[in-house]
Amino acid sequence: MTDGGAILEARGVTKVYETRGVETHALNGVDLEIGEGEFTALSGPSGSGKTTLLNLFGALDEPTRGEIHLDGESLAHLGAAALSDLRLRKLGFVFQAYNLIPVLSAIENIEFVMVLQGVSAGKRRARAEDLLREVDLEGLGGKRPLEMSGGQQQRVAVARAIASHPRIVLADEPTANLDSETAARLLDLMERLNADRGVTFLFSTHDPLVMDRARRNVRLKDGRVVADEAKTAA
Amino acid sequence: MPLELRMAWRNVWRNPRRTALTVAATVFAVVLVMVAVAMGAGTHEKMIEDSVRVNAGHVQVSGPGYRAKRTLEQYLPFDEQTAQRLFAAEGAVGVAPRITSFGLLSQAGATRGVAVVGVDPLREGSVTTLPGRVREGRFLEAEGVREVVLGGRLARVLSAGVGDEVLLYSVAYSMESAYELFRVVGILSLPEATMDRTLAVITLRDAQEFFVYGDRVSEVAILAGDSGAVPALAGAVRRAIGEGSAEVHTWRESMPELEQLILLDDAGMYVMLAILVVVVGFGILNTILMAVLERKREFGVVLALGLKPRAIFTIVYLESLLLALVGLAIGLAIALPLILYLQAHPIPLTGAAVEAMALFGIEPEATWKLKPLNPLGSILTILGVAIVAALYPAAKASRARPVEALRSL
């Protein structure tokens, strides 16, 4: 199922939420591997566990049972600081609501993770400008998120996600707030980054367009993997 | 500019109206605190200055036991050399010897108990304002013989005017009866009613003769050039006069009721200011807490991206400090020139305040004095309040778990 070695691996992962004494099983014993260079979509109806699995892969949450491995290393027993460091070095995120930092300009948003990584000012500015060009936003680096369209903001979010050279980009419903034309252009961009730069993408999505473009579709239902299909190259 | 500081500064201005209101509250508090503290400092200094200039200076040197008993038995030998030694003490600008005792003063059919004070007419003005308080006639002269100056109320109850003769009865140091006629040469107007009703001032030479006191005096009043230098002056006087041969007291010991009044006044003022500062603290807390709650999702994002919880704590703390610093800067810019203006232009008081201040012998004026500790204290207080107020929101923000923060909208 993987293009290369496994970056992310879920082993018998179960996630149970408890609200006022009522237990909800979001994931039930999921086993899944995501390999290097993949362009994979996690799909399924609302409540199927897509976002929960993405959060667990992103070291944003902990499974109730089972383990998540990133580059062969178990995330269990890692403290908040270690998880934070791991996210910074190995993971990139694109969120449904763009979630750029509103007080920073587009180029500062892209630089943000590089600042946290300790990249020198000159290097990070040069890389941020390269990435702005790459996502077709050259000249808009000084704009704040609220001065940009949704599509532009999501492009900045993609640039921010890959600025730190992550092992994988986790994208939670990245096209949900975009019109179909903008969504198609965003997918073009991510496909290009996957093909040209080898960036690995894992999406959670409802969007048929994303599922259509993904080279692998993992379908979830009631917290279980019910289908896992890879497309053969045309 | 470091990332945390840049983000904190821009976050402060994300909701300009809320920030402006909090800054305005801080400015109001800074101005009110500084003006009130400066008014307290000015008024208290004036109270001290007016009191010491009517009574016995900043420092008094007296014979052993004089302060407790206040009789002629406790004396201090005094000569020109002693005067020079005391005047040479560092910080002294005036030295005035005096004899203080009690007697009965009669004129026509009226008799009143009086405080008899013998002063050196040439030196008295260097310490007290008595010579300048003559409202009728003149003050004592060095060459004058058996002259007396009376408090205004005393003169009125005795029906004594300038030129009248009054009879002074007392007991001399030799324990013999002493009585002598004195001519009234001046009437004083004293701000303190008791003093105005009982004071009879004669020359030091007449007092030494009347009380058969030789070259002794009861005490020497010394004026300091600066009230802040009183402890140092007292030390210098002790060294000059020699340990054991005399007692040295400062105005705090000789007028404890004045010090207590000042402490009481300070306590009332600081309680009021503390309430104000707490209110400002809650204002800052409210602003920062609202800002934190509104940005819960944003904290989730930056945590997901790899920002450490400690950095979030720093950002929220910086926001609180920046908010306080903006308020402080504007507050200081308003308060400092205002206080300097008020310091140069005291405001005369009217109505009941005049009588209240007269009770303590103080000129009825509202005065201000800017001391270095005033702005420093205000800066530290407001920053301290900002630090305490930000503690809870900063801790709350830094404890956010990214997945919960991202789910919060």
Contact between A157 and A163 (Cβ < 8 Å): no
The per-residue pLDDT for B211 is 92
Domain end call among B204, B224, B253:
B253
Range of the domain at B284: 3-52+258-406
Domain count, chain B: 2
The pLDDT of residue A179 is above 60: yes
**Closest residue on chain B to A84 (Cα):** B306
In chain A, where the domains are located? 6-230
Which regions of chain B are under pLDDT 50? 408-409
DSSP category for residue B346: P
**Tally of residues, chain B:** 409
Chain B hits for A102, Cβ within 8 Å? 14, 298
> Please, what is the end-to-end C-alpha distance for chain A in angstroms?
17
How far does the CA of residue B6 sit from the closest CA of chain A (Å)? 9
Q: Specify whether B133 is located in the same domain as B267.
A: no
* Model confidence pLDDT, tens digit, residues B306-316: 888 888 899 88
Q: Specify whether B214 is located in the same domain as B83.
A: yes
Q: Specify whether B365 is located in the same domain as B326.
A: yes
Q: Specify whether B139 is located in the same domain as B39.
A: no
CB burial string B118-149: b at 16+ within 10 A, e below: bbbbebbbbbbbbbebbebbebbeeebebbbb
Q: Considering only the beta carbons, identify the residue of B298, B401, B406 that sits closest to A101.
A: B298
Distance CA B237, CA B50 (A): 22
Q: Specify whether B36 is located in the same domain as B170.
A: no
The average pLDDT across A33-55 equals: 92
Distance CA B35, CA B191 (A): 27
Q: Specify whether B298 is located in the same domain as B390.
A: yes
Chain A hits for B298, Cβ within 8 Å? 99, 101-102
Q: Name B150's Cβ contacts closer than 8 Å, sequence gap at least 6.
A: B105, B158, B160, B166, B184, B186, B187, B188, B199, B200, B201
Q: Specify whether B238 is located in the same domain as B265.
A: no
How far does the CA of residue A30 sit from the closest CA of chain B (Å)? 19
Asked if the C-beta of B14 comes within 8 angstroms of chain A's C-beta atoms, the answer is yes
The per-residue pLDDT for B359 is 65
The per-residue pLDDT for B84 is 87
Residue A110: is it exposed, middle or buried by C-beta count within 10 angstroms (0-12/13-18/19+)? Answer: buried
Chain A hits for B401, Cβ within 8 Å? 60-61
Distance CA B207, CA B185 (A): 16
**Closest residue on chain B to A160 (Cα):** B305
How far does the CA of residue A231 sit from the closest CA of chain B (Å)? 31
Record: contact A84-B302, CB cut-off 8 A: no
As a dihedral over the C-alpha atoms of residue A46, residue A47, residue A51, residue A57, rounded to 10 degrees, the angle is -140
The per-residue pLDDT for A227 is 93
Q: Considering only the beta carbons, identify the residue of A84, A97, A99 that sits closest to B306.
A: A84
Q: Specify whether B242 is located in the same domain as B266.
A: no
The per-residue pLDDT for A202 is 95
Record: contact B305-A95, CB cut-off 8 A: no
Q: Considering only the beta carbons, identify the residue of B6, B305, B406 that sits closest to A87.
A: B305
Tokens of B77: 């030998």
From the candidate CATH numbers 3.40.50.300, 3.30.1050.10, 3.40.190.150, 3.40.50.800, the one assigned to the domain spanning A6-230 = 3.40.50.300
Q: How many CB pairs under 8 A join A and B?
A: 60
Closest CA to B152 of B187, B112, B108, B181: B187
The pLDDT of residue A218 is above 60: yes
Angle at A53 between CA A49 and CA A58, to 5 degrees: 150
Q: Specify whether B188 is located in the same domain as B200.
A: yes
Q: Specify whether B72 is located in the same domain as B219.
A: yes
Record: contact B308-A84, CB cut-off 8 A: yes
Q: Which residue in A62, A68, A91, A101 has the most chain B C-beta atoms within 10 A of its own C-beta, making it the best mutation to test that interface? A: A101
Chain B hits for A115, Cβ within 8 Å? 3
Chain B hits for A95, Cβ within 8 Å? 301, 406
The per-residue pLDDT for A4 is 52
Q: Specify whether B197 is located in the same domain as B97.
A: yes
Chain B hits for A101, Cβ within 8 Å? 7, 298, 301-302
Domain end call among B237, B253, B269:
B253
Distance CA B137, CA B149 (A): 9
**Tally of residues, chain A:** 234
Amino acid symbol at B229:
A
Could you tell me what percent of chain A has a pLDDT over 70? 97
The overall average pLDDT reported for chain A is: 90
Which ranges of A60-198 does DSSP label H, i.e. alpha helix?
A: 80-90, 106-117, 121-134, 150-163, 180-192
Distance CA A39, CA A191 (A): 8
The average pLDDT across A174-195 equals: 87
Q: Of A111 and A136, which is predicted with more confidence?
A: A111
Q: Specify whether B156 is located in the same domain as B179.
A: yes
Helix (H, G, I), strand (E, B) or coil at B271: helix
